[in-house]
């Protein structure tokens, strides 16, 4: 799709609706866009490329904008192959192109794509003069890789932000925030944030501070909508998510083989609602992919995790969830735990070890049910619900 951002800047990105799993792991029911931009100036400049399987469409978009002109510069903001994958093909088509990256980018370009010539290393003091447009560059390491940077057009105040402020979901018909159903993209943005960037909250905070002084009229990320109307909202959301500031709500995630642990989850949820919290979501970890569970955990302050006993430990999907959380380490959560011990136990005690590692504020009591739920269990499960509701309401 080719769209004008303004008179001299064009969107030339592509949609990928065939993709099943982003990074070969995260489900893509709504696909994803790989955004790229052409600045048509005295010097023609391409900002990032696209995943290589979409190269043909990408090239035809570029040619639609520049015709038979050459491309002078390719700015590489990020080396993950969803953006860098077409570098070698672009160089083959435009052999005189100069590739712009920072000192951390260059060994990656040489290593991944065997490009050794026409490389220009930039830093925070570099100004790339295209004629009308002047580009500057700011490193944002670990948002999402160590070489990640943003490019800022000081003339038209456009921030080419790469992964930052990106979303999952293809761009269907339009590219701007004010011409799309933005609530859909906000949900997909939180899923993208939590799945892809969520581990790097501190670097995101540093990046936001570094970019804080810029006058930004347009944010042009490498996935999802181009933000021109509600810029403060998306910056605010990134600020909030990177600080793990969450909404008053509770997500209950259970692992259950035969339904007893699910039944306990329902009892907790009822108590949460009775205590006045409307935002309650229950998920079966065997069915709902980690991608959505992480997104919901980022959304809500309260997290309750339940597991049946399985081989003397917690149930495999719950173990996977907990080990991912220990990797991502989101903060500022309240945690309740529960589960069934059946004949062997181990589900709840494994969750207790997780609780020690993750260091969220624990909500009493931890409940372990033997065989089936008894009245004494019900009152303790309700206590989890009431207590966590009280805490999330308090903030
Ligand atoms: Fe969209 Fe980290 O690549």
pLDDT in tens, the chain (395 residues): 999 999 999 999 999 999 999 999 999 999 999 999 999 999 999 999 999 999 999 999 999 999 999 999 999 999 999 999 999 999 999 999 999 999 999 999 999 999 999 999 999 999 999 999 999 999 999 999 999 999 999 999 999 999 999 999 999 999 999 999 999 999 999 999 999 999 999 999 999 998 998 999 999 999 999 999 989 999 999 999 999 999 999 999 999 999 999 999 999 999 999 999 999 999 999 999 999 999 999 999 999 999 999 999 999 999 999 999 999 999 999 999 999 999 889 999 999 999 999 999 999 999 999 999 999 999 999 999 999 999 999 98
Predicted local distance difference test score (pLDDT) of residue 395: 83
Residue 224, both tokens: 């999802």
Interatomic CA distance for residues 137 and 86, integer angstroms: 21
Q: Is the pTM of this model over 0.85?
A: yes
Fill in the DSSP letter of residue 24.
T
- CB-based burial of residue 239 (10 Å sphere; 0-12 exposed, 13-18 middle, 19+ buried)? middle
Closest by CA position to 384, among listed 364, 354, 361: 364
Interatomic CA distance for residues 314 and 311, integer angstroms: 8
Expressed in angstroms and rounded, the spacing between residue 302 Cα and the centre of ligand 1 is 29
The answer, yes or no, to whether any atom of ligand 1 lies below 6 A from the CB of 222, is yes
Interatomic CA distance for residues 260 and 194, integer angstroms: 30
Whether the Cβ atoms of residue 77 and residue 151 lie closer than 8 Å to each other: yes
Interatomic CA distance for residues 341 and 87, integer angstroms: 54
Instruction: Report which protein residue has its CA nearest ligand 1's atom 1.
Output: 163
Instruction: State whether residue 74 is helix, strand or coil.
Output: strand
Which residue has 């309240």 as its token pair? 334
Interatomic CA distance for residues 56 and 229, integer angstroms: 31
Query: Residue 104: which residues within 8 A CB-CB, separation 6 or more?
Result: 139, 141, 146, 147
Expressed in angstroms and rounded, the spacing between residue 163 Cα and the centre of ligand 1 is 5
End-to-end Cα, the chain, rounded Å:
44
Write down how long the chain is: 395
Expressed in angstroms and rounded, the spacing between residue 361 Cα and the centre of ligand 1 is 32
Instruction: Report which protein residue has its CA nearest ligand 1's atom 3.
Output: 80
For residue 24, the tally of other CB atoms under 10 A from its CB is 7
Expressed in angstroms and rounded, the spacing between residue 151 Cα and the centre of ligand 1 is 15
Which residue has 């004629």 as its token pair? 131
The answer, yes or no, to whether any atom of ligand 1 lies below 6 A from the CB of 163, is yes
Closest atom, ligand 1, to C-alpha of 196 = 2
Closest atom, ligand 1, to C-alpha of 223 = 1
The answer, yes or no, to whether any atom of ligand 1 lies below 6 A from the CB of 148, is no
Expressed in angstroms and rounded, the spacing between residue 77 Cα and the centre of ligand 1 is 10
Expressed in angstroms and rounded, the spacing between residue 354 Cα and the centre of ligand 1 is 29
Residue 372, both tokens: 């089936």
The answer, yes or no, to whether any atom of ligand 1 lies below 6 A from the CB of 78, is yes
Expressed in angstroms and rounded, the spacing between residue 203 Cα and the centre of ligand 1 is 15
Expressed in angstroms and rounded, the spacing between residue 278 Cα and the centre of ligand 1 is 35
Closest atom, ligand 1, to C-alpha of 34 = 1
The answer, yes or no, to whether any atom of ligand 1 lies below 6 A from the CB of 33, is no
For residue 240, the tally of other CB atoms under 10 A from its CB is 15
Closest atom, ligand 1, to C-alpha of 145 = 2
The answer, yes or no, to whether any atom of ligand 1 lies below 6 A from the CB of 84, is no
């Amino acid at each position: 799709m080719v769209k004008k951002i303004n008179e001299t800047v064009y969107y030339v990105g592509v949609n990928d609706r065939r993709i099943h799993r982003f990074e070969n792991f995260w489900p893509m029911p709504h696909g994803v866009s790989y955004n790229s931009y052409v600045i048509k100036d005295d010097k023609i400049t391409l900002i990032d490329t696209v995943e290589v399987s979409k190269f043909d469409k990408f090239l035809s978009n570029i040619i639609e904008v520049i015709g038979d002109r050459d491309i002078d510069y390719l700015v590489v903001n990020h080396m993950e192959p969803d953006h860098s994958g077409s570098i070698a093909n672009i160089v083959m088509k435009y052999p005189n192109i100069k590739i712009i990256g920072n000192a951390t980018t260059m060994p990656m370009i040489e290593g991944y794509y065997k490009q050794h010539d026409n490389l220009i290393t930039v830093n925070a003091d570099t100004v790339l003069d295209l004629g009308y447009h002047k580009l500057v560059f700011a490193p944002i390491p670990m948002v999402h890789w160590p070489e990640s940077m943003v490019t800022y057009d000081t003339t038209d105040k456009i921030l080419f932000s790469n992964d930052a402020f990106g979303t999952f979901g293809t761009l269907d018909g339009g590219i701007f925030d004010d011409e799309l159903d933005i609530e859909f993209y906000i949900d997909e943005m939180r899923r993208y944030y939590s799945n892809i960037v969520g581990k790097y909250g501190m670097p995101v905070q540093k990046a936001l501070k570094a970019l804080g002084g810029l006058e930004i009229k347009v944010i042009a990320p490498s996935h999802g909508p181009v933000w021109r109307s509600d810029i403060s909202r998306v910056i605010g959301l990134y600020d909030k998510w990177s600080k793990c500031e969450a909404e008053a709500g509770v997500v209950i995630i259970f692992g259950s083989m035969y339904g007893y642990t699910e039944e306990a989850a329902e009892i907790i949820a009822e108590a949460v609602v009775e205590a006045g919290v409307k935002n309650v979501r229950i998920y079966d970890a065997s069915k709902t992919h980690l991608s959505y569970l992480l997104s919901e955990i980022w959304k809500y302050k309260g997290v309750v995790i339940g597991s049946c006993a399985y081989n003397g430990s917690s149930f495999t999907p719950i173990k996977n969830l907990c080990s991912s959380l220990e990797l991502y380490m989101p903060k500022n959560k309240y945690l309740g735990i529960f589960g069934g011990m059946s004949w062997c136990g181990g589900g709840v005690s494994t969750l207790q070890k997780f609780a020690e590692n993750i260091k969220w504020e624990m909500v009493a009591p931890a409940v372990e049910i033997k065989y089936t739920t008894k009245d004494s269990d019900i009152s303790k499960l309700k206590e989890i619900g009431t207590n966590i509701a009280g805490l999330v309401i308090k903030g």
